[in-house]
Amino acid sequence: MGGFPLRQSIRYGLLAGVAVLHMSLVGMVEAFSRREIVKDTISMGQLLLILAILVLAYVAARRAVEQHPLYAVFSGALVGLVAGALLAVLALLIKPLGMREVFANASPRLVKILLFDEEGVAGVARLLAVMTASGALAGLLELLPPRVRRPLVYALLATLTLGLLRDIFAVVLPRKVSRFLYTSSGLTQAGLLTFLAMWGVVFTFWETLGVRLQREVRSLPPAQQRPLQWTSYALVAALLVGMPFILGERGSYIFEVLDIVGIYIIMGLGLNIVVGFAGLLDLGYVAFFAIGAYTMAVLTTPELQVVRAVIPQMTFWEALPLALLASLLSGIILGIPVLKTRGDYLAIITLGFGEIIRLLVLSDFLKPYLGGAQGVTGIARPTFGDWYAKDPQDYYFFILIAIAIGFFISVRLKDSRLGRAWKAIREDEDVAIAMGIDHVATKLTAFATGATLAGLSGAIFAAKLNSMAPHSFNLLISINVLCLLIVGGMGSLPGVVVGAFALVGLPELLREFAEYRLLVYGAALVAMMLLKPEGLWPETLHVRELRAEPVKVSPVPAAGEAPGSK
């Protein structure tokens, strides 16, 4: 048993201190403190400080526990104390040194937040106590057995998420339940305890019985698993279809977010075929999205008189097949010149294709046909007789149907002859060609299928907005779709859904925090790539590739030498 890792603990404490000082001085803490997690107890800004302490204290505790179990608690507490001391120094020096002249966010409001609404010695004492206790809690978590630690951590995260998303759940829940659980700005203390107890029971049950039940279901023959799978699919479908009828007008904001997430899911399913199945890195995927959207806009708007003189104005349903056809053909056109490229070169070419489409839309030469920088308005909406889609709930059903079509196509192709050819090209294109796979047709089919789904999402997106502008089709769209595939799990169909909700849905719900939400978004991506690189819902093959232990190969004995003689 070694001595207490004092230097290591202080080093992690200083790292935590630098992190919380940065968040404080750039304005994150003050901006996030506008949202309370628990009424009159803790704000989201204060929670950010505590989470930073918890993470680094837990890392320090994991290393200290190797020396002695109690060292984990002491090490975590020391990390919290050092970081809290740095925050206390900042809070005490902001006013005497006039730091606001240098740091615009070093305001009296920040001091009040850091000292937990106290002043002077009392505030410093509370700050140090909270940060030290948070670090000690991280050390205690390390000492708990995994089957106890995991449900506890999951329950805390789920409760904090429900507090953060108060504006949604307070509207969805019945009024009496909502008043018991939520106040006008956060969770009630009774609501906090209720959610902690509820999620604690749920995750404890899953840790003990749920995993065992899942293992038993997987051990069943496929014929017996199929009825259970179809039952679960039917329950999920019934819930998704019934949501608009259950929530009614109260859920307008929720369905607005769900529509955006759904559009990204459709694009994700298409890019998953190109990147996840076929291994073709496409950074210009937004071009197909734009082609589908602009085809719908040009064919249905009454504004473009030059086009209307040649092509009569169409309805949404008349233009939709042409939008899909235009996207499909553009996928083939892009695929032909890139057949001999792979890897980084393919990414650069597709990136250039995406920029070409964006600049063409912006050009003055094509302005009479595409609307130019001002875009196009008056795009047709989906109609059935006298009824037409106008609310987020209406488009929710169209997007849900499009997602179902995308899933059906992906599932049917994944393990088909074509799907296996895609996977062979992804793993090693040269070997796939040697085995007789027609790489030309296989690659073109991947590009065409992915482009068609992107065009479908673009057409729905244009109809939903009823207008279209070039700024909606920048490179960041392609990057976001690729990121949701990586986060959800490359090649995984459920991973597309999980990644879309994690990277699109949550930032949309946190849009009030402006640019700081993207900082949290980036930090979450970095943490996930380090902790779970295979994704949130990965394919089994990718898990084996990333998590498998390297195979130790014994040296081959020389001629005439007995094995194991060295």
Between CA 178 and CA 192 the distance in angstroms is 12
Predicted confidence at residue 410, as pLDDT, reads: 93
Residues 272 and 327 in one domain: yes
383 lies in the same domain as 438 = yes
d(CA 416, CA 398): 27
- 14 C-beta neighbours (distance < 10 Å), count: 15
Q: Are residues 47 and 162 in the same domain?
A: no
Residue 523 predicted with pLDDT over 50: yes
CA distance 8 to 231: 53
Residues 6+ apart with CB under 8 A from 322: 295, 299, 314
* Residue 553, in any domain of the structure: no
Decide which of 327 and 552 is more confident: 327
Question: Does a structural domain hold residue 174?
Answer: yes
| Average of per-residue pLDDT across 398-425 | 92
Residues 267/454, Cβ–Cβ less than 8 Å: yes
CB 346 within 8 A of CB 281: yes
State pTM to two decimals.
0.85
C-alpha 466/C-alpha 391 separation (Å) is: 12
Same domain, 313 and 438: yes
Mean local confidence (pLDDT), 195-210? 87
The answer on 309 and 282 residing in a single domain is: yes
Strand ranges in 322-364 using DSSP code E only, listed in sequence order: none
Asked whether residue 80 falls in the same domain as residue 201, the answer is no
Residue 565 has pLDDT above 60, yes or no: no
Give yes or no for residue 10 having a pLDDT over 90.
Answer: yes
List, for residues 424-448, the tens digit of each pLDDT value.
998 888 899 898 999 889 999 999 9
pLDDT at 356 over 60: yes
- Report in angstroms the alpha-carbon separations of 249 from 363, 394, 464, 470: 41, 11, 18, 32
For position 261, what pLDDT does the model report? 92
In the chain, the number of structural domains is: 3
Average pLDDT for residues 181-208, to the nearest whole number? 88
CA pair distance 50, 44, nearest whole angstrom: 10
Tokens of 558: 């020389």
Contact, 305 vs 329, CB < 8 A? no
Asked which of 85, 114, 143 is the last residue of a domain, the reply is: 143
User: Residue 259 domain-assigned?
Assistant: yes
Mean pLDDT within 243-264: 84
pLDDT in the model for residue 551? 46
On whether residue 556 sits in a domain, the answer given is no
> Would the pLDDT of 522 be above 70?
yes
Least confident of 72-76, 269-273, 486-490, 526-530: 526-530
Phi, psi for residue 42 in degrees, rounded to 5: -150, 135
pLDDT of residue 555: 54
Average pLDDT score over the chain: 86
* Residue 100 exposed, middle or buried by CB count within 10 Å (0-12, 13-18, 19+): middle
Does residue 394 share a domain with residue 509? yes
Q: Averaged over 475-500, what is the pLDDT? A: 88
pLDDT digits (tens, 9 = 90+) for 532-542: 777 888 877 76
pLDDT at 388: 81
Q: Are 498 and 483 in contact (CB under 8 A)?
A: no
Is 227 part of a structural domain of the chain?
A: no
Any domain includes 555 = no
pLDDT of residue 1: 54
Q: Answer with the one of 219, 247, 268 that is the final residue of a domain.
A: 219
Judge whether residue 531 has pLDDT over 80: no
Do both 337 and 201 map to the same domain? no
Spatial separation of the C-alpha atoms in residues 7 and 373, rounded to whole Å: 58
34: three-class secondary structure by DSSP: coil
Q: What is the C-alpha to C-alpha distance for residues 118 and 43, in angstroms, rounded to an integer?
A: 14
Report yes or no on 563 lying in a domain: no
- Could you tell me the pLDDT band of residue 16, with boundaries at 50, 70 and 90? very high
Checking if the pLDDT of 553 tops 90, the result is no
Same domain, yes or no, for 205 and 243?
no
Interatomic CA distance for residues 22 and 208, integer angstroms: 41
Neighbours of 169 (CB within 10 A): 18
pLDDT at 344: 83
| 140-178 confidence digits (pLDDT tens) | 998 998 888 889 988 998 898 888 778 778 877 888 888
Strand partners, 377: 467
* 3-class DSSP state of 467: strand
Q: Assess whether 256 and 214 both reside in one domain.
A: no
Coil, strand or helix at 435? coil
pLDDT in tens, 205-219: 888 887 788 778 778
Domain that holds residue 421: 234-540
**329 class by beta-carbon count within 10 Å (0-12 exposed, 13-18 middle, 19+ buried):** middle
Do 192 and 120 share a domain, yes or no?
no
Does a structural domain hold residue 565?
Answer: no
- What pLDDT is stored for residue 444 in this prediction? 92
Residues 503-521: what's their mean pLDDT?
A: 71
List C-alpha distances in Å: 72 to 34, 65, 77, 81, 322.
34, 5, 9, 14, 64
- Residue reference for tokens 């904090």: 160
* Structure confidence at residue 548 (pLDDT): 57
Better pLDDT: 230 or 460: 460
User: What percent of the chain stands above pLDDT 90?
Assistant: 33
Q: Domain boundary residue among 143, 168, 201?
A: 143
My answer on whether 271 and 313 are in the same domain is: yes
From residue 397, alpha-carbon distances to 257, 267, 387, 545 in Å are 14, 17, 14, 38
